[in-house]
Structure 1
């Protein structure tokens, strides 16, 4: 399996699998993360997958006898991964996320519809008809970056970002859609809100979604939203 490895500071190794992103890149990233999960090398502190790379943070004290710890890490990485073939993506976890679209929960839904010459109902139908793939989790704890959105509902980021995005808001920015797990500033166009918590700080792992998951949205009413929040669903 081919990749380019380089140091990132003095305690991390960056594995690059090629740009732009395509399915073969995702296969390589899934292979690396699966091996790290299964083998749990003692020198690995954590790893962070992204669209086209994996960054591995390592315990520099594990290599205290080495003059150049990064070189020892590079050899370990090559030993683990050079001989492997990219794994097939047949075991994706499938997740369905309910969304209350529009109104106070999705104040930019009409704007997205207007920008694309659609009705609000058409935007909802298009948004819920796709199967999305979680390519990475980042920006804020549990925030999933999703690919697979129809180009028919693309929308630019807001000219004036909001200082506070309500937690669990579903948004669109460019050709991507995503979910804000916690309250943060942000500039995405907000089209709805899910009652489902994505950031679970007391659980392991603390993120409901992970890279490689397949996700579908489905529309719910305000009554159903409240029932989810109250634990009745």
Structure 2
């Protein structure tokens, strides 16, 4: 009995110690809604779709050490995204540009497809890092034929060498992405390539 009681007490101590050592997890998104970049429903005839590799579209916040095996993708142990990054980015861009959701598209809706290959915090040194959004934007017409394409590569410096700094830099990169997409859509519209997209060029000439 004494041996059993001793074993039970030791087990409880280990369990309690494990609970005390568990770190709380910080949850991040891209912050409050940003300022609207487009007026009214100008781009509501374009639906937005975000695609990215599954290892980037998880709740873990990823980073790379460029000075120590940049091929290794690492993640913060005590910090998480509040939702999948693809969802957070789509929400931010819809707020900025007034785009429709991918689920809302129909036969009269064009599609803006963004395929990201990189969404991570890159450390050039232990103290210096930046957030990188890199991929390709493709605009498809109502028949899903390519109207135009644009390479994406947006890098924003992080104010601190931690998850908080990386997330803030990623939010800044998403805001910059919205501005670049707006300028691109305006250019495509001026060239008369959006005539088939309802609530866009046909209503704003």
TM-score (norm 2): 0.24
TM-score (norm 1): 0.22
Q: For the pair shown, which has the larger CA radius of gyration, 1 or 2?
A: 2
